[in-house]
Structure 1
Amino acid sequence: MNIGIIGAGQLGRMLALAGYPLGQRFVFVDLDPDAPGAQVGRIIPGHFDDPAALGALAEAVDIVTFDVENVPQDAAEAVAARVPFFPPPAALGAGQDRLTEKRLFAELGIPTAPHAAVDSQAGLEAAVAAVGLPAILKTRRLGYDGRGQLRLETTADLDGAFAALGGVPAILEGFVPFERELSLVGVRSRNGETAFWPLAENSHAHGILRQTRAPWDDAALQALAERHLRALLERFDYVGVLTVEFFLLDGVLLANEMAPRVHNSGHWTIEGAVTSQFENHVRAILGLPLGSTQATGHAAMVNFIGRMPPLDDVLAIEGAHYHDYGKTARPNRKLGHCTVVCATAVERDAALARLAALA
């Protein structure tokens, strides 16, 4: 079957790499002819909302998915009217607006940090009065990897803050003094079959994911996270992989955001689980039986940001798996990652420390 992917970044590339052993073929839409997806499939040049490019994609494939959240919902709906499109455009749209996302969480009984809409400087001051400080001011749309947000510590930080983010609709979120950040990756197939990987613990710096360790073994938290994620899957009659990032505070999981696609915090599953998030996403959108999500050991992932470490140094670490996306290096750009899978958590953490020193 021919599968179309809107976006030819590293996630699309890894989807194709997982799908080829299953006999699938891939076509991408992307503006960059040298995007990582070009290594594994044909790229139709165009913006994510280009009717001509998306129309050509729909003509060339049997089913369409995406690897990036910036596909406009109306463009996704136009494609979905012509060819099966998963995950559903409604879920894509809900994840594109932080305020809509928070309201969805509230509707489903999923706890979040306190928050308020901000549409002006005066609105920011009113939101601070309601939410308190410290807090994070974020654009409602298009921000990711730390972009489009400001931390506000004192009232002096409010001056010009709304304008500093471009004067666009925003949301103020109360700062959460979390104990750790956890994420849950789940998948739902076209036939309703659902599976979840173990919880993973994430470490961020400057808003960018740096490290992931899995599994995070806590049966009560795993069950709670699965309940929250299942509510989202059922709400949208979802098909494909869905990830929710949580803050853990006093035994409560506070949902930070959801990603209606394969996710960076699930990269450990390529070598660290029986079936990766990428393979199960392909299985799910095709209606194939899902593979086991059981962890095969103690895994860790390190993102390589801004530069790739020497291949021989990384592969000298026992259990290391090197992934180079083939991107041109520039500051704060995700260029690749490495995973390690070990028999024990102690061995895993020792290997992770060696990897982190190279990153």
Structure 2
Amino acid sequence: MSHTAKILLLGSGELGREFVISAKRLGAYVIACDAYDAAPAMQVADAREVFSMLDGEALRRVAEQHQPDYIVPEIEAIRTSVLAELEEEGFTVVPSARAAQLTMNRDAIRDLAANDLGLVTSKYRYAKNLEEVKAAAQHTGLPCVIKPVMSSSGKGQSTVRREEEQEAAWDYAHANMRGDRQRVIVEQFVDFDYEITLLTVRHKGGVTFCPPIGHRQERGDYQESWQPTPMSDDAIAKAQAMAKTVVDDLGGYGLFGVEFFVKGEEVIFSELSPRPHDTGMVTLVSQNLTEFDLHARAVMGLPVPDTIRARPAASAVILADQDSETVTYSGLAEAMEGGADIRIFSKPTSRPYRRMGVALATGSDTDTARAAARDAARKVSLHYS
């Protein structure tokens, strides 16, 4: 079998699915891995492996069996110590095993950004029980945000405005922890004007930035995103400088989703993911090269343009509202009549608030695109059995 590269993809959700499509267009052979069968990326990959990414022995066995050119994590909950061992043995981990280890846990990447690199962050402390949560909240002040150091797509995050809300926030964070680390970060609530994702591509030719993406969250999970978002040149320059500092320190090649809070001209580092970002789904219609195309190019050592431009566009999520083993969809034609596009992720099961698809729209400006994307998302109905 001929191919340009063999990629072992760790995590096979909707972001992994789009990455597989981009990598396949460049001639790659992709083995998609996840803890459950028929995950979205598996449906378009060349091969699949079903196992928990936290099972270090299984992770090593699969890597040694397939001998990939690149190991590409798509989720946080991975036994990163094994990735470090594999990298030492000659495997290429994207963007690096160190990056995977640091960003798997919010505490490690926050400490790197605030303490080692001197980036502007909010006040924060960590806690592993309710008493420590209360002490941390005394340090940060109220309101504060409490979230697990390891979770998926913002799960387990809540804002605490009164002392009596602390126990419920701890319970919610504890219930939504990923992996085996019972720890939360308690951070000062930032009264920001808006928050952005700055997609930052580190590649063999240097560092390239996409235009900033604005987004709105509920329950700690993204609901809609739009690009480009209005931002002063000075604020963009600050965000780019901080993003370049942290991705250069992490090393390796790939696309990073770097999140910031913006208050006036002040830019505050929030989080970083060393992979395509859910808010970057908007790039499927806003950019000629999507975030997944850019990630694939950077990973495979192919050229990435110095400048990326975006037309006004928006994304809006399509959510499930119940548990079901079977999901069907209707309303796609009505949703697409106004020019919007719909992407169904084809997840085999649903649960409340699970992201099942996304509506994408362009417009003369981002407000128009946002309205069109939201309208299209509302017209898609999910049916359960």
**TM-score calculated relative to the size of structure 1:** 0.91
Task: State the AA in 1 paired with 2:369.
Answer: R
Report SS of the residue matched to 1:268: helix
Instruction: Give the aligned partner of residue 341 of structure 2.
Output: 321
TM-superposed CA distance for 1:144, in Å, is 3.2
1:2 equivalent to 2:11? Answer no
Aligned counterpart, 2:143: 134
Structure 2 spans left out of the alignment, 5+ residues: 175-180, 322-328, 381-385
Alignment of 1:1-359 (within 5 A): 1-41=5-45, 42-50=47-55, 51-60=57-66, 61-80=68-87, 81-106=89-114, 107-140=116-149, 142-159=150-167, 162=170, 165-166=173-174, 168-189=182-203, 191-218=204-231, 219-291=233-305, 294-306=308-320, 310-318=331-339, 320-327=340-347, 328-345=349-366, 347-358=368-379
Question: Compared with structure 1, are the counterparts of its residues 130 and 350 closer, same or farther at alpha carbon in structure 2 (3 Å cutoff)?
Answer: closer
For residues 228-261 of structure 1, the C-alpha deviation after alignment (integer angstroms, 9 at most, x for no partner) is: 1100111022311111111112321222211111
User: CA 1:345 to 1:38, structure 2 compared with 1: closer, same or farther past 3 Å?
Assistant: closer
Q: Which moved more, 1:236-245 or 1:340-349?
A: 340-349
| Pair 345,262 (structure 1): closer, same or farther in 2 beyond 3 Å | closer
Q: 1:292 to 1:234 in 2, by over 3 A?
A: closer
Q: Deviations over 1:10-52 (max 9, x none)?
A: 1111111111221112112222121011211211121113323
CA drift of 1:205 comes to 1.2
Contact 1:134 1:152 in 2 (8 A): yes
1:174-232 deviation per Cα after TM superposition (whole angstroms, max 9, x unaligned): 1122211111011111x252111000110111111011110124322221111111001
8 Å Cα contact 1:274-1:292 kept in structure 2: no
Flag the 1:336–1:54 CA change in 2: closer, same or farther, 3 A.
farther
CA distance in 2, matches of 1:339, 1:159: 38
Query: For the Cα contact (< 8 Å) 1:186–1:242, is it kept in 2?
Result: yes
Aligned in 2, Cα 1:159/1:242: closer, same or farther, shift over 3 Å?
Answer: closer
Gaps of 5+ in 1: none
- Report which stretch shifted further, 244-253 or 287-296: 287-296
TM-score, normalised on structure 2? Answer: 0.85
Deviation readout 1:267-296 (Å, 9 max, x if unpaired)? 111221121111111111111111465234
Give the count of matched residue pairs: 356
CA distance in 1, matches of 2:172, 2:368: 45
Q: Which amino acid aligns with 2:298?
A: A
